[in-house]
Amino acid sequence: MAFEHQRSVLVFEISTFSRLGQVLRPLGLAALVWAASLGATSAQAQTPVAPPPAPSASPAPPVVPTPSASPATPRPATSSPPAPLTPSRLTVPRTQVPTTGYQEEEYRLGPGDQIGIDVFDVPELSGAEGQQVVLIDGSVNLPWVGKIKLQGLTLSAAADRLENAYAPYIRNPLITVNLLTARTLRVNVVGAVKRPGSYIISPEGQTNQILVGDAAVAGGGIASQWPTVTQALQQAGGITQLANLREVQVNRPQPDGSQQTIKVNLWELLRSGQIQQDVALRDRDTLVVPQSASLSPEEALLNGSSSFAPATILVNVVGEVKAPGTVEVAPNTSLNQALLTAGGFESRRARRKDVILVRLNPDGTAVRRTIPIDLTAGINEETNPSLREFDTIVVGRSGIAQTGDTLDNFFRPLGNIFGIFNVFDIFNND
C-alpha cells in the first residue's frame, strides 16, 4: 500500500511538472527570445560606432611650369614681334591713395623726365633696359612697339598705355612705371615779392620709387620732393612787408586748356603749422602774392620772421648822422635801431627832437610823417615804428639848406623816382 501511494505521488508530480513545463515552455522561449533581443540591443548600444573613414587625399595636381616669358634674344623695334608671352602672375588692379591737405593731383610726365619701365617676367624690357627719358616731343622710343607718347599722362595712365601697346605681344602684361628723376620746373612768381619773374627750379634730390601696378606712395614719395610755395618765394627774394599771406594763389594750367586755382593761406602755415598750406608746385604754375593795404603789428612781425621773408631789407638814413646812406637791416627793424646802425646822431648839428620818416607806396605815392624821438621806447607806431624796405629817415638840423644839399647829393641817382613829388615839400622840417 505504501509503495502504491509513493508511486501515485511520483506519477502526480511527474505529470504536474510535465504540464508546468508545457505551460512554461512557450513563455520561456519568448523570454529567451526577448532576453536575447534585449541583450543584442544593449550590446549594440554600448559598442562605439567607428567614424567613417576619412576620404583619401587625392594627390595634388602637378604644378605645370609656365613657359618662360623671355624671348631667346632681345628684339629691336624693327624686328618682327615675338610670340605672345604669358606672365605667371595676374594683374593687380591699380588703386589711388588719397593725399593729405587739398586734393593733390598726380604728377604728369613731360619732356626731360627720366622714367623706369618694368614689364613683369620680361627682363629684357625691364631694369636698366627699361630706363627711358621722355623726349622733347613727349614720347619714349621702346623695343617692339616703337614710339609711345606719354606727355601729360600720370604714371598710372602711362602704365595703362604701355600695357595696351604690348598687349599684342604679351598676354596680360603687367607693367609698372617709376619716376626716377624729375624734369626741372618753370614757375612764375608775381605780386608782392622782391624779385618777381620766371624761375627754373629743380626738384630736391632723387624721387622715391612708385609701384604704379600696386598703389601710389602715400606720405612722402614724389610729392615731398617738389618745390613748394615757400621755396619759390625764397627763390624770388622773399615777400615784401605788405604781402597778404592769407590770399596767396597758385594758378595751374590743365591739360584741357583750363586753369585750376589753388588757394593758399600761408598765414595759417606760420601761425598754426598747417603744412598742407605749403602746396607743392608743378611745371608752369604761377604763384600770385597779393598785397595788403595795411598790416597789423602782429602780421608785420610774423611776416618778417617767416622763413620765406628776405633776410635783410634796405633803409635810407640821411641827414645829420655819422654814417648817412643806405643801411642793411633785418625786417621789422625799428626806427631807433636804424639810427644806431647809421652811427647815431651827429653830436653837435643833429636835431634830436624828431625825425622825418618817408615811406614810398607801391602805387607811386609817398607818405611823410614826423616821428618824435624817444630812444628808450620799444617798437610802437607813434615814436618807434618798424621800418619797411626803402623807407627813408631824415635827420634834420637847423640849417635847411644844408639838409637840402645832403638830400640832393644822396638822391641824385634816384632822380627819376623822386621826380614825382616835390622833394623839399616832403622833407622840409616843421
Residue 33 lies in a domain: no
**Domain boundary pick from 122, 153, 181:** 181
CB 353 within 8 Å of CB 373: yes
| Same domain, residue pair 344 and 236 | no
| Same domain, residue pair 189 and 175 | no
Total structural domains within the chain: 3
Closest CA to 293 of 362, 197, 224: 362
Residue 20 lies in a domain: no
Count of C-beta atoms within a 10 Å radius of residue 213? 19
**Domain boundary pick from 247, 273, 305:** 305
Residue 47 lies in a domain: no
| Same domain, residue pair 319 and 378 | yes
At a CB cut-off of 8 Å and minimum separation 6, what does 5 contact? none
Q: What is the domain range of residue 325? A: 313-427
Which pLDDT score is estimated for 71? 43
Residue 7 lies in a domain: no
| Same domain, residue pair 348 and 329 | yes
Which pLDDT score is estimated for 134? 96
Residue 388 lies in a domain: yes
Which pLDDT score is estimated for 248? 94
Which pLDDT score is estimated for 144? 93
| Same domain, residue pair 126 and 223 | no
**Domain boundary pick from 148, 181, 214:** 181
CB 329 within 8 Å of CB 359: no
Which pLDDT score is estimated for 406? 53
| Domain of residue 374, CATH code | 3.10.560.10
| Same domain, residue pair 158 and 210 | no
Which pLDDT score is estimated for 408? 55
Which pLDDT score is estimated for 104? 59
| Same domain, residue pair 121 and 169 | yes
Which pLDDT score is estimated for 346? 86
| Residue numbers in the chain where pLDDT is lower than 70 | 1-105, 204-225, 294-309, 361-365, 398-430
